[in-house]
Amino acid sequence: MNKLWHAENRMPAKATLEQRIQWHKEHQEHCACREVPKSLLAYIKIKKLK
Ligand SMILES: [Zn+2]
């Protein structure tokens, strides 16, 4: 787990969907200690198709 990245990239308490997607995208690149929730994955795929 990339503790430094997590310390510098806290998920906001009231993160919007866009913020959550962005956070998980960067998280996958820098750490990926946990998977992107399926509910968010669906949104990411939709965005890529557009
Ligand atoms: Zn992580």
Quick: pLDDT tens for 17-34: 999 999 999 999 999 999
Tokens of 40: 């968010």
Buried b (16+ CB within 10 A) or exposed e, 11-31: eeeeeeeeebbebbeebeeee
pLDDT at 6: 97
Give the distance (Å) from ligand 1 centre to CA of residue 4.
10
- pTM of model > 0.85: no
Q: Is the pLDDT of residue 38 over 90?
A: yes
Give the distance (Å) from ligand 1 centre to CA of residue 46.
24
- Residue 7 binned pLDDT confidence (cut-offs 50, 70, 90): very high
pLDDT at 49: 74
Give the distance (Å) from ligand 1 centre to CA of residue 47.
23
Tokens of 13: 């308490």
pLDDT at 50: 67
Q: Which of 20, 26, 27 is nearest to 43 (CA)?
A: 20
pLDDT at 9: 96
Tokens of 50: 């557009």
Give the distance (Å) from ligand 1 centre to CA of residue 28.
8
Tokens of 38: 């399926």
Helices assigned H by DSSP within the chain:
3-8, 17-30, 38-49
Give the distance (Å) from ligand 1 centre to CA of residue 37.
13
